């Protein structure tokens, strides 16, 4: 079999080209709803105000089933590699960290409809495209087309050293990840045994089975940079963006349209489409005063020890996505803060959607009761506003 180069690699059909794929169904929603799973101690918020949020698998499985019953489209787990104690502080922030790939695959057995996204650092260690292509094809079958990989390149300075490597420069990481995923795509297309010689990887008579159910598994990435947007435009179905102007919605709203258009236009130039999702922390209470009082008590319990350590990591990293965020805001967490009564929260989400944002990946401070209240009080308002189709309309 001839040795292929990167321009000759086969590509499978995309899940969006199958109208019945779980991804196509989720994309029918004007505003996709995702839950950011707290698979790590402290979830997303660095505050010691007491709460029930827990990193255990059982708690996350319960949340996932709760989210699915409320009509959520996606659950998502992030991945970091942290030294002993995580970010420390009084909160022992992220001291325990369940692997999101393993956890979200396990959640397939507990659910029926919701998409399951787990993050993978493809450049760390001796990961080879063969591993990922077979693992994801398997996850695709276990989940019946609902599993998706959030492919990240690793912005942190210390993480690659844990794997005995040094970090590639920012844009080379995207080049290498692109080659990795192009090879996975070729393997998923299953045209023949693959013999390939590229810049970073080589394969000889390589093959993986089974074929994914809808061409390939769902692919996501998370970016704020031009190189990251180019990568997303070519390979991702979903792209996570952070706020280009910090966590205050009023500051972010004017800047988001151009930011979102940049990645969507890049996808259009590739004759593709991507959905853009952002991660707000939502604080919703019956009245604005109650929501603000709760917000204030989370801030008053800010865990400054772990916030300092979190910022030290980001200062040593080279992500352009987080630069605008305030240290104190980390007590609440999330890339945007959406606070208020149910009506105010629904209105803020309408404004966010009007910027071109296609979905929200929500973090809560105290997940279980706050997810329940969001479901009961905000989702009906989103339906009334035409931002959410009732469940049976998408099935």
Residues within the interface to ligand FMN (CB under 6 A): 78-80, 119, 152, 154-155, 170, 222-225, 228, 240-242, 279, 319-321, 361
Tell the smallest beta-carbon distance from residue 324 to ligand FMN (Å): 12
3-state helix, strand, coil in the chain (%, to 5): 40, 15, 40
| Peptide bond preceding 210 in cis form (omega within 30 of 0) | yes
Burial (CB count <10 Å: 0-12, 13-18, 19+), residue 165 = middle
Distant-in-sequence, close-in-space partners of 381: CB < 8 Å, separation ≥ 6: 342, 343, 346
Tell the smallest beta-carbon distance from residue 191 to ligand FMN (Å): 31
Tell the smallest beta-carbon distance from residue 233 to ligand FMN (Å): 12
- Closest-CB residue for ligand FMN? 228
Tell the smallest beta-carbon distance from residue 190 to ligand FMN (Å): 29
Backbone φ and ψ of 35, nearest 5°: -115, 125
Closest CB to ligand FMN among 78 and 362? 78
**Taking the CA of residue 259 as centre, how many other CA atoms within 13 Å lie in the half-sphere pointing to its CB?**
25
Give the separation between CA 199 and CA 222, rounded to whole angstroms: 24
What DSSP line would sit under 173-242, residue for residue?
Answer: HHHHHHHHHHHHHHHHHT-S-EEEE-SS-EEEEE---SPPTTSS-EEEEE--SHHHHHHHHHH-SEEEE-
Tell the smallest beta-carbon distance from residue 24 to ligand FMN (Å): 22
Closest CB to ligand FMN among 290 and 318? 318
CB 218: neighbour CB atoms within 10 A? Answer: 29
Closest CB to ligand FMN among 307 and 336? 336
Tell the smallest beta-carbon distance from residue 55 to ligand FMN (Å): 14
């Amino acid at each position: 079999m001839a040795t292929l180069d990167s321009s000759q690699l086969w590509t499978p059909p995309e899940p969006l080209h199958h109208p019945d794929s779980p991804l196509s169904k989720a994309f029918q929603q004007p505003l996709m709803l995702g839950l950011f799973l707290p698979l790590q101690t402290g979830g997303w918020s660095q505050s010691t105000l007491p709460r029930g949020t827990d990193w255990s698998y059982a708690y996350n499985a319960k949340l996932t089933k709760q989210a699915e019953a409320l009509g959520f489209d996606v659950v998502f787990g992030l991945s970091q590699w942290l030294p002993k104690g995580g970010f420390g502080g009084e909160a022992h922030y992220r001291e325990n960290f369940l692997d999101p790939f393993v956890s979200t695959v396990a959640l397939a057995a507990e659910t029926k409809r919701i998409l399951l996204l787990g993050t993978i650092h493809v450049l760390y260690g001796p990961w080879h495209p063969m591993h990922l292509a077979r693992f994801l094809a398997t996850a695709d079958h276990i989940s019946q087309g609902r599993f998706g990989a959030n492919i990240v390149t690793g912005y942190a300075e210390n993480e690659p050293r844990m794997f005995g490597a040094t970090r590639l420069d920012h844009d080379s990481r995207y080049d290498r990840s692109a080659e990795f995923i192009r090879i996975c795509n070729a393997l998923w297309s299953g045209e023949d045994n693959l013999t390939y010689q590229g810049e970073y990887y080589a394969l000889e008579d390589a093959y993986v089975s089974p074929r994914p159910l809808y061409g390939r598994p769902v692919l996501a990435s998370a970016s704020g940079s031009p190189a990251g947007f180019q990568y997303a435009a070519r390979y991702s179905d979903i792209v996570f963006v952070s706020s280009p102007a910090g966590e205050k919605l009023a500051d972010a709203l004017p800047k988001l349209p151009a930011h979102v258009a940049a990645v969507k236009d890049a996808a259009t130039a590739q004759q593709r489409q991507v959905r853009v999702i952002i991660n707000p922390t939502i604080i919703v209470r019956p009245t604005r005063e109650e929501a603000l009082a709760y917000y204030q008590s989370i801030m008053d319990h800010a865990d400054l020890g772990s916030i300092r350590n979190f910022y030290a990591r980001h200062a040593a990293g080279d992500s352009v996505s987080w630069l605008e965020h305030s240290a104190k805001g980390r007590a609440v967490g999330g890339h945007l803060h959406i606070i208020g009564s149910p009506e105010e929260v629904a209105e803020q989400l309408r404004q966010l959607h009007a910027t071109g944002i296609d979905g929200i990946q929500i973090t809560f401070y105290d997940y279980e009761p706050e997810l329940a209240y969001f479901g009961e009080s905000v989702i009906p308002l989103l339906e009334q506003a035409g931002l959410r189709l009732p469940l049976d309309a998408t099935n």
